């Protein structure tokens, strides 16, 4: 595949995720007026538990789909993922039927909502598998379209159901994944219509046992560390704070994470089979460079304007979400610029290294959450959580560069150049809080400066 086609694929994935998140962002001011912070908090807890269960259901066999050179083998692995996900969903339903009351008292979710959890987690697991099948075939277009319609399929039901039911946020979330999976159904139908021997599927499941043995637990710890905090925050600080935290993620962290996921999937698709060659190291460096050039201006602008933005757009009731976003910036910056590179573990068979990283991340985060809940206020807990996470992501970046890139001087020059460029471009923001000129003057100048920065980056990409 030539460079122009690869660039087109990345552009398709990135643009679709941007469009999908713009839809969610545009809908957010309306949804915050239709639902309370407590209801957003319930959604956050529900989504967190769904993501945890989806990892347990699939046992990460959806990631194994990308590894084989044969499409036939990849399709068989997708069936493995479907079978184990179905078994997991059934087991979760039985557990809720038996212990639903206890689970409800711990999570704060009603028993009626708990029965939607296995369904939500199953759709997430199946959706991931179908997406991997499409990416394996380099079919970036259908994946891009499905992401846009997933957002539409989420916000439309959430808006419509607000009149009838406070759980409309949760049901809309499920419908969104169902729509996305339906649009990609052809890839799964192709796999289901082929004739396979059960013994061959079992043999493949055993052959790729490193995914359930190592990758599953690493991914589970990663999901718990990143998405379980709302459950803990709800226990210590109440669902209202969880709702504010959830809005912060929905407006800032979620778009950044989804865009990073698109880059990660593209990186995984293009690097599969690349081993530890020089080409893989160059691909890591170039991917990190692009992510850095995109993220630093965004987060610097967010630091300056974030609190004012949340208070103005969502109202005084949601203004505190801006404070939460600001203390999350170090963590979000490193997640966006480093996490897409972590798929190199899957490519090179180093899943155990990813497991060590995620165990360290999880243990430290849980200690901070529990200690913070007992001894600190909510904002300080989030701040320490963010700094600890950022430090570990920096450690991962250093390890990846040391093993695969081995050109630290290039990385250092990249950071210095990016930081200097952002300082110059965002200089108008340094005067943001000064009163000798009207506010709109700095806003207009800053917008022009950002456009100039974007044009400069695009020109550099074209020249290269």
List per-residue pLDDT tens for the chain, 464 residues long: 455 556 666 677 778 877 888 898 899 999 998 998 899 999 999 999 999 999 999 999 999 998 887 888 888 899 999 999 999 999 999 999 999 999 998 888 889 899 999 999 999 999 999 999 998 888 888 999 999 999 999 999 999 998 877 789 999 999 999 999 999 988 878 777 766 677 777 888 899 998 998 888 878 887 887 788 999 998 899 889 999 998 987 777 766 766 676 677 677 666 665 555 567 888 888 888 888 877 877 887 788 777 778 888 887 788 889 899 999 999 998 988 898 888 787 777 787 888 888 889 889 999 999 999 999 999 999 999 999 999 999 999 989 888 888 666 666 676 677 667 666 666 665 565 555 555 555 566 666 666 666 666 666 554 45
Instruction: Report which secondary-structure segment, H or E, holds 329.
Output: helix 320-338
- Which residue do the tokens 């505190």 mark? 320
Residues 73 and 194 in one domain: yes
Residues 232 and 378 in one domain: yes
Structural domains in the chain (count): 2
CA–CA dist 139, 132 (Å, integer): 10
Check if the beta carbon of residue 149 is closer than 8 Å to that of residue 179.
yes
Tokens encoding 295? 């993220």
Q: Burial level of 221, CB count in 10 A (0-12/13-18/19+)?
A: buried
Contacts of 128 (CB under 8 A, 6+ apart): 54, 58, 62
Residues 23 and 132 in one domain: yes
- Residue-wise pLDDT for 74-124, tens only, equals 888 999 999 999 999 999 999 999 999 999 988 888 898 999 999 999 999
Check if the beta carbon of residue 220 is closer than 8 Å to that of residue 299.
no
In a domain, 449, yes or no: no
Of 173, 206, 239, the domain-final residue: 206
Residues 156 and 219 in one domain: no
Residues 283 and 191 in one domain: no
Check if the beta carbon of residue 47 is closer than 8 Å to that of residue 173.
yes
Residues 217 and 363 in one domain: yes
Residues 79 and 189 in one domain: yes
Phi, psi of 138 (to 5 degrees): 60, 30
In a domain, 436, yes or no: no
Residue 237 Cα distances to 41, 196, 245, 328, 375, angstroms: 11, 52, 11, 18, 12
pTM, 2 dp: 0.77
DSSP state of 181: H
CA–CA dist 329, 9 (Å, integer): 29
- Determine the Cα angle at 73 with ends 72 and 76, to 5°: 90
Neighbours of 374 (CB within 10 A): 9
Domain that holds residue 252: 209-425
In a domain, 87, yes or no: yes
Residues 234 and 366 in one domain: yes
CA–CA dist 67, 416 (Å, integer): 36
Check if the beta carbon of residue 230 is closer than 8 Å to that of residue 109.
no
Residues 187 and 227 in one domain: no
Residues 121 and 13 in one domain: yes
Residues 117 and 246 in one domain: no
Closest by CA to 354, choosing from 216, 260, 208, 206, is 216
Residues 414 and 288 in one domain: yes
């Amino acid at each position: 595949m030539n460079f122009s086609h690869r660039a087109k694929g990345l552009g398709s994935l990135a643009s679709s995720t941007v469009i999908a998140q713009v839809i969610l962002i545009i809908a957010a001011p309306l949804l915050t007026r239709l639902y309370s912070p407590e209801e957003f908090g319930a959604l956050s807890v529900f989504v967190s538990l769904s993501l945890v269960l989806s990892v347990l259901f699939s046992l990460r066999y959806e990631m194994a789909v990308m590894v084989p050179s044969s499409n036939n083998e990849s399709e068989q692995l997708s069936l493995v993922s479907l079978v184990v996900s179905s078994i997991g969903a059934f087991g979760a339903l039985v557990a809720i039927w038996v212990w639903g009351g206890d689970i409800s008292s711990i999570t704060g979710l009603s028993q009626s909502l708990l029965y939607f959890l296995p369904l939500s987690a199953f759709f997430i697991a199946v959706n991931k598998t179908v997406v991997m099948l499409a990416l394996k075939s380099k079919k970036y277009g259908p994946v891009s379209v499905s992401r846009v319609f997933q957002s539409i399929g989420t916000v439309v039901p959430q808006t419509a159901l607000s009149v009838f039911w406070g759980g409309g946020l949760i049901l809309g979330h499920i419908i969104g994944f169902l729509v996305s999976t339906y649009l990609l159904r052809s890839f799964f139908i192709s796999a289901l219509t082929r004739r396979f021997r059960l013994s061959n599927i079992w043999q493949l499941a055993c052959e790729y046992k490193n995914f359930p043995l190592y990758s599953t637990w690493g991914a589970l710890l990663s999901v718990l560390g990143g998405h379980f905090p709302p459950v803990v925050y709800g226990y210590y600080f109440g669902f209202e704070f969880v709702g504010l935290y959830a809005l912060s993620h929905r407006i800032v962290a979620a778009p950044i994470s989804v865009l990073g996921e698109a880059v990660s999937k593209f990186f995984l698709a293009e690097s599969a089979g690349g081993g530890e060659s020089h080409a893989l190291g160059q691909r890591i460096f170039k991917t990190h460079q692009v992510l850095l050039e995109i993220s630093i201006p965004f987060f610097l602008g967010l630091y300056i304007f974030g609190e004012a933005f949340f208070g103005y757009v969502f109202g005084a009731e949601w203004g505190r979400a801006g404070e939460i976003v600001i203390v999350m910036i170090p963590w979000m910056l490193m997640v966006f610029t480093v996490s897409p590179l972590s798929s190199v573990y899957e490519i090179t068979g180093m899943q155990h290294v990813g497991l060590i990283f995620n165990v360290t991340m999880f243990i430290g985060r849980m200690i901070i959450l529990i200690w913070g809940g007992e001894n600190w206020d909510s904002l300080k807990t989030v701040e320490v959580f963010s700094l600890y996470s950022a430090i570990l992501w920096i450690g991962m970046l250093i390890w990846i560069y040391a093993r695969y890139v081995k050109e630290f001087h290039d990385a250092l020059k990249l950071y210095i150049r990016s930081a200097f460029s952002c300082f110059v471009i965002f200089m108008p923001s340094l005067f943001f809080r000064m009163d000798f000129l009207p506010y709109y003057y700095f806003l207009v100048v800053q917008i022009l400066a950002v456009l100039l920065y974007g044009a400069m980056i695009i020109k550099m990409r074209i020249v290269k």
